[in-house]
Amino acid sequence: MPNDQTPAEKRGYYIAAVLTESSQREMRAVMDPAHPVIHDNSGEGYHHVTLAYNTEGGFDLVEPLVGETVELTVVGYACDNTNEALLVTGVPCEKAFPHISLSWAEGGRAFGSNTMILEGAKRDNITVPALYGQRFSATVTRVSLR
């Protein structure tokens, strides 16, 4: 195996808080996607918060939570010409801004939300969404990369 693989690639899975089907339906009922893509080979919108992918510390932090139900609370919204995401709290995460990617533009990628949120935070460009404070249930799950 190449040494430049992420911890997730080495394991063959990453860990995510996957929204329950009812939470996904509730979210979609309130927020239409800003971009045309909500599912492709780079990800699935309105679906999960990636908790551990790039760091061993992230896996150490969340592996004990696999199988647990968590409550995610919406605390912000970010959208640009490529990506759209909700920022959430309620679960440990290796990222500075845990979020749920909602949609992305043609040619974009679901993980582009990471950069968009970091840039938005630098410009104080994170807004309060219609779903602010709403809570959604999710189950911490190992998601296969294969």
Task: Give the Cα-Cα-Cα angle 144, 99, 29 (nearest 5 degrees).
Answer: 95
Q: What is the pLDDT of residues 24-40, one digit of tens each?
A: 999 999 889 999 888 87
**Count of CB atoms within 10 A of residue 64's CB?**
10
pTM of full prediction above 0.85: yes
Q: What is the pLDDT of residues 56-98, one digit of tens each?
A: 999 999 999 999 999 999 998 888 888 999 999 999 999 889 9
